[in-house]
A and B are shown apart, each in its own frame.
Chain A
């Protein structure tokens, strides 16, 4: 009786919520197909892919200068990749360390977590001041990179901590009792089993670093990353080529998600088999 009313209401509510969530993106995507002489608003004068061509430099020279994103896109991807590798490695290692209670593990835990809690503007500014004081040049691959790791490492750490919480220690002990060294045990047993978690940690680190703004703003130096250079174009005038670019990067993110999903599916089917082991 209750569910007959409740279910449709909840369904409608959820749909509206999702629409609200994705509304801005949908508007952006529609406007990206504006014609040459149209502005960044409705109505659409004529549907075209002009701004996509413009973005890729395929059009004749126009009054609108090309979006200066090429180099910064590559910088952002490289930076996100570096951050992913370092944060994930650190995250796995420290989560492994936290499997055993050690002296000072409490404070150490909170110090790690602090990296994602403190406001980015503050850390960024602090890093800028510090690098000026000790005479280190600011660069996206130096000062920014360090802050990206400080920011994303706690996420990777927390993901791995959750994974190790459910990890059955006896399989490692079994490997050791078979005469296999701890290093080989990690490589042949632990890592394959925690791999889905490692993937999640990587995804977190990558996406967080890829669109990180405030920490980068103060520390990137002369060469800008993607979020910074997009922000920079806003100060001039907005054309639909930014929307076109937004659609393309969203597609890129979706590709990442799909790859992640496929890999997860492959590995969690094995993990599910693992769960079945207890009920013999």
Chain B
């Protein structure tokens, strides 16, 4: 179990992390979702020991690891750019940790060879050992990076946007494989990403990092349907967040949120009386396959997005520049307290 308590990191005037409390349980795939610049990579680098926190404690199974040198922490790290050793072959890359690590390095060549082949098999690269790392594709490099880390049996594996450098097709395949590999090994993965779909797909649990803090940690479906605060909701890219006073009929106040797929549209003035309704101008639509996204702007400038599913269309024909009534069932809204 990896525990961070009140971990802070500053770079000059900018505060990257501001008292992060965070727990990664045993045998868990944890996704960490955050916008770029939110401090995701900083958090991983602190855990790995490439940098030290200004304040706070990091520990694994109760043993404090901050202040320890990186190579004694026993934590795996998979880099976004893979960071393979360019002068070594695939097999030498994978065997690197076993051969040269400080704690109990292996000297028996047959054992190294067997373990290397085992690791390559695990990531589906049997027979690629003799290749130069330049002679394999991006997805294969990713697997080599993974095999190189996993062969050392670290206590936890940190993945820094591991799919960011891959193309979309490969990304979804690697998603499944990463999950499968993790389940076979039973080690915890902490996967950092800026993509909400990736975070929700991969994680047994998803944590949202914003403003230098962990805003919420929950199972993917819970997080998606019940974001605990406006920041968490904003990162899911599925919630309209707006001031309740925009609604004509409701007596609500403060910031409220309604999911993209739970809002309906009617011609101006015809919104049902039993539903909270607000007026907005239709801006434009965006078609992206199975769903279509429509954009509206309310009177105070708030942007609204509404998802329509191709198989069950529920929006009327929309004309750009026209005003419409947007409404939603009262039980669909979530209300947040405090500032957004």
* Bound: A262/B155 CA distance, A: 45
A98 to B78, CA, bound (A): 27
A180 near B84 with CB under 8 A, answer no
Residues of B within 8 A of A57 (CB): none
Complex Cα distance, B86 from A271, in Å, reads: 7
Judged by a CB distance under 8 angstroms, whether A182 is at the interface is: yes
Asked if A168 CB lies within 8 Å of chain B CBs, one says: yes
Given contacts A177-B48, A178-B148, A280-B137, contact A273 B86 (CB under 8 A): yes
Question: Are A274 and B152 interface neighbours, CB within 8 A?
Answer: no
Q: For A178, what are the chain B residues with a Cβ–Cβ distance below 8 Å?
A: 71, 76, 96-97, 100-101, 148-149, 152
Instruction: Known A174-B77, A180-B102, A193-B87; judge A277-B71 contact (CB<8 A).
Output: no
List, in ascending order, chain A residues with CB within 8 A of B152's CB: 178-179
A21–B50 Cα distance when bound, in Å, is: 51
Say if the beta carbon of A270 comes within 8 Å of chain B.
Answer: yes
**Per-residue CB proximity of A257-277 to B under 8 Å, as 1/0?**
000000000000011011011
A180 near B149 with CB under 8 A, answer no
Q: In the assembly, what is the distance between CA of A74 and CA of B84, in Å?
A: 44
Question: Within 8 Å of chain B (Cβ to Cβ): is A278?
Answer: yes
By beta carbon, the residue of chain A nearest B96 is A178
CB distance from A210 to the nearest CB of B (A): 31
Q: In the complex, which of the residues A176, A188, A189 contacts B71, with contact meaning CB atoms closer than 8 Å?
A: A176
Which of chain B's residues has its CB closest to A280's CB? Answer: B138
Chain B interface size band reads 35 or more
- Per the bound structure, the CA–CA distance linking A270 and B70 in Å amounts to 28
Is B139 among interface residues, defined by CB-CB distance under 8 A?
A: yes
Q: Is A96's beta carbon under 8 Å from chain B?
A: no
Contact A277 B50 (CB under 8 A): no
Residues of A close to B77: CB separation below 8 A: 173-174, 177
**Nearest CB of B to A100, in Å:** 12
* A residues near B72, Cβ cutoff 8 Å: 179
Q: Is A175 an interface residue (CB 8 A)?
A: yes
User: From residue A257, how far is it (CB to closest CB) to chain B in Å?
Assistant: 24
Residue ID in chain B nearest A170 by CB atoms: B83
- Any chain B CB within 8 A of the CB of A184? yes
Is B71's CB under 8 angstroms from A181's CB? yes
| A179 in contact with B87 given A173-B77, A174-B79, A277-B141 (CB within 8 Å) | no
Residues in chain B near residue A193, CB distance under 8 A: 86-87
Cross-chain contact B149 with A277 (CB below 8 angstroms): no
A182-229 interface (Cβ within 8 A of B): 182, 184-185, 188-189, 192-193
Scoring B residues 64 to 107 as 1 if CB is less than 8 Å from chain A, else 0, what string do you get? 00000111101111010111111100000000110011110000
Whether a CB of chain B sits under 8 angstroms from the CB of A171 is: yes
Q: A175 contacts which chain B residues (CB < 8 A)?
A: 85, 96, 100
Q: Does B219 reach chain A (CB closer than 8 Å)?
A: no
B133 CB-CB contact with A under 8 Å: yes
- Out of B70, B102, B134, name the residue touching A177 (CB < 8 Å): B70
Q: How far is the CA of A277 from the CA of B88 in the complex (A)?
A: 13
A277: contacting residue among B69, B76, B82, CB under 8 A: B82
List 17 interface pairs A-B (beta carbons < 8 Å), by A numbering: A170-B83, A173-B50, A178-B76, A178-B96, A178-B97, A179-B101, A179-B152, A180-B102, A182-B69, A184-B100, A189-B85, A192-B87, A270-B86, A274-B87, A277-B86, A280-B139, A280-B141
The 4 closest A-B pairs by CB, nearest first: A280-B138, A274-B86, A273-B134, A178-B97
A interface residues with partner B (beta carbon < 8 Å): 168, 170-171, 173-182, 184-185, 188-189, 192-193, 270-271, 273-274, 276-278, 280
Extra contacts besides A177-B149, A179-B101, A179-B103 (6): CB < 8 Å: A168-B81, A180-B101, A182-B71, A189-B85, A273-B86, A274-B86
